Amino acid sequence: MKLVVVSAGLSVPSSTRLLADRLAAATAGRASAEVEVEVVELRDLAVEIAHHFTNGFPGRKLAAALDAVTAADGLIVVTPVFSASYSGLFKSFFDVLEKDALAGKPVLIAATGGSARHSLVLEHALRPLFAYLRAVVVPTAVYAASEDWGAEGLPERIERAAGELAGLMAGLSVARPAVKDEFTVVPFAEQLAALSRQ
């Protein structure tokens, strides 16, 4: 199974990436089948994402990242909290993704921040975004404030969320509809007939 991790951390090293890696490792550990993990660092794609908006088509690295996300059996998405929400870069990546790419796909949402005061960003911003994209968002969202890296509780939340994602990946990878090929066609006679039925 293929697990893709989208990390919107900006610093190197980044606590967002650190959380992303912990979540990925825990998910792989709990999966029933072998999991292949691919990490998409949005920092490396920032310029291509901006150009996608101005050009209308993705550059090569961005196209590969979008394809990886579209083809994944499960997704872990992690953003730093900026101005009471996900970062603009994080949102921009999902803005250039084809609108049906996440339909039916299990997604674990996670965020990092300087303090715990923004933890509900996961429920107020990320969960509605992925609900709109018709993803299946796991019940446990993981927030890591700076203080959590030196406190109890984070590993348990990571394990719980990872277990939920691994379970959904096992169940949904069979049930999820195949990604629609961009270049499949409805035969013309059907197109025309559908119009007269409307």
Residues that bind another protein (CB under 8 A): 50-51, 53-57, 59, 182-189, 191-192, 195-196, 198
Closest to another protein by CB, 11 or 55? 55
Closest to another protein by CB, 49 or 142? 49
Query: Minimum CB separation from another protein for residue 124, in Å?
Result: 30
Query: Minimum CB separation from another protein for residue 59, in Å?
Result: 7
Q: What are phi and psi of 106, to 5 degrees?
A: -70, 130
Closest to another protein by CB, 83 or 198? 198
Query: Minimum CB separation from another protein for residue 190, in Å?
Result: 10
Angstrom CA distances, 80 to 31, 132, 135, 137, 155, stand at 26, 20, 20, 18, 19
Query: Minimum CB separation from another protein for residue 89, in Å?
Result: 17
> Contact, 24 vs 39, CB < 8 A?
yes
Which residue is it, tokens 């090929």?
181
Closest to another protein by CB, 34 or 181? 181
Query: Minimum CB separation from another protein for residue 194, in Å?
Result: 8
Angle CA(139)–CA(180)–CA(55) in degrees, nearest 5?
A: 95
> Contact, 10 vs 148, CB < 8 A?
no
> Contact, 33 vs 61, CB < 8 A?
no
d(CA 156, CA 152): 8
Closest to another protein by CB, 54 or 83? 54
Residue 64's DSSP bridge partners are: none
Closest to another protein by CB, 53 or 149? 53
- Rounded to a whole number of angstroms, the distance between the first and last alpha carbons of the chain is 41
Query: Minimum CB separation from another protein for residue 53, in Å?
Result: 8
